[in-house]
Amino acid sequence: MSFELNPETIAGENGKTLGTLAGDYEHLGKQLARRGVDIEGITERAMAFRVAVPSWGVGTGGTRFARFPGPGEPRNIFEKLEDCDVINKLTRSTPGISLHIPWDKPEDAGALKSFAADRGLFIDSMNSNTFQDQAGQKHSYKFGSLVHTEAAVRDQAVEHNVECIELGVKLGARSHTVWVGDGGNFPGQFHTRRTLDRYLDSMRKIYKALPDHFRVFIEHKLYEPAFYSTVINDWGVSYYCVKELGDKAFSLVDLGHHAPNVNIEMIVARLIQFGKLAGFHFNDSKYGDDDLDTGSIKPFQLFLIFNELVDAEIEKVKGFDPAYMLDQSHNVTDPIESLMTSAVECVRAYAQAHIVDRAALSEYQEKNDAMMALSTLKRAFTTDVDPILAMARHRAGGAIDPVGLYRASGYRGSAAVKRPASGRGGSGIV
Ligand code: LRH
Ligand code: MN
């Protein structure tokens, strides 16, 4: 470790490039002022933006073929929070952590909650897991969990979700996310209508366990691990279910859970309009649920999604309170670098969406001037807001160059010394 990551060392390193940043910031400020945009307003928005980090994303991820662990892999939830602490120290956008149970099940919930709080972190959303069988588990989820044909298996899955919610309450979480891989590999394997009835029946039991301040998020996914029919396969069935369940149920959009070329920003606008947008699992993909770094493949799509979100934010749409979370798998990069960069890409799309000249846009829309409407959006998307993002991080006590400072700190090297390799390669996302 060449140096501890703390406010002094971060400010020290920032000092080396602050002059250049101030010049770029001032220049951008003049450009934006000519467009009637106050740069300080955008910087404040960028400083206020928050996106949660997935605890399961700080370890090296893998595929069904293999997982190639990197040096200094976190071995338990406390080491995962240490890594989340670094991400938040340098980006100042990620104090919220999503947990996955039982992967992160603590012996002592209180100890975990204060370990996080001591680092300025909090537990955001809980995630249940009925897509794997745990050692000693009575009933297998091979043929499903919440939709299984046997009531005993469904009850076991419901019980697990209720335990997650109860643990979430102890940890100060605010929501519970239910993604099930339940579905079939062949036509005829499942009766489609009865399967959904069983799903809703199980979800109603889970919904009953929600305390007043808690929300439940249903996450749809087109396919995988089921390769023919997935019970909650798209936003339509998710929306139907959250409407059926009640006011505390919302539909969560994982960007990788759609067929190629689906217009996700339209799904977002629909769920906003219907008052049922839970929030997001941000990531990116080229083909399937690749869980790649946010903004790494389709940055314009990410911008168009934030354009819908910011439009609703500015219009103060009723019930608009989305939870922003990353959900990625880092198979070939340092997970800390990928999560920092992905958080920055979310802030970038958010800041660019706040630069959109919305008065001009709606005028072009009213006049059906498609060309000018598109170029009004593209002008914001092609604005290099890097000086705003860096200034926002600097003013919040973070790093002007998060990845550069992280590498200079030698954090990964010292983690590799402290955390001897488990040698457990194996396969799978974690
Ligand atoms: C399913 C999913 C879900 C998580 C899992 C780790 O693909 O997106 O959100 O539970 O990844
Ligand atoms: Mn997800």
pLDDT tens track for 78-113: 999 999 999 999 999 999 999 999 999 999 999 999
- Ligand 1 atom 11 nearest Cα: 327
For residue 424, what pLDDT is reported?
Answer: 62
Q: Is 182 left (phi over 0), alpha (psi -120 to 50) or beta?
A: beta
- As a whole number of angstroms, the distance between CA 341 and CA 334 comes to 11
**Length in residues, the chain:** 430
Taking 70 as the pLDDT cut, the residues of the chain under it are 1, 423-424
Angle, CA of 303, 315 and 91, to the nearest 5°: 45
Cis bond upstream, residue 225 (ω within 30): yes
- Ligand 1 atom 7 nearest Cα: 289
pTM: 0.97
Beta bridge partners of 199: none
For residue 1, what pLDDT is reported?
Answer: 56
Query: Residues with beta carbon inside 6 Å of ligand 1?
Result: 56, 127, 179, 219, 221, 254, 281, 289, 327, 429
Write down the mean pLDDT value for the chain: 97
Instruction: Name the DSSP letter for residue 428.
Output: S
- As a whole number of angstroms, the distance between CA 363 and CA 375 comes to 13
Q: Which residues lie below 8 Å from residue 175, measured CB to CB, with a gap of 6+? A: 124, 125, 126, 168, 214, 215, 216, 217, 278, 323
**How far away, in angstroms, is 184 Cα from ligand 1 center?**
18
Helix (H) or strand (E) holding 379: helix 370-381
- Atom of ligand 1 lying closest to residue 100 CA: 10
Instruction: Name the DSSP letter for residue 172.
Output: T
Ligand nearest to the CA of 281: 2
**How far away, in angstroms, is 170 Cα from ligand 2 center?**
23
- Atom of ligand 1 lying closest to residue 56 CA: 6
For residue 80, what pLDDT is reported?
Answer: 98
- Ligand 1 atom 3 nearest Cα: 179
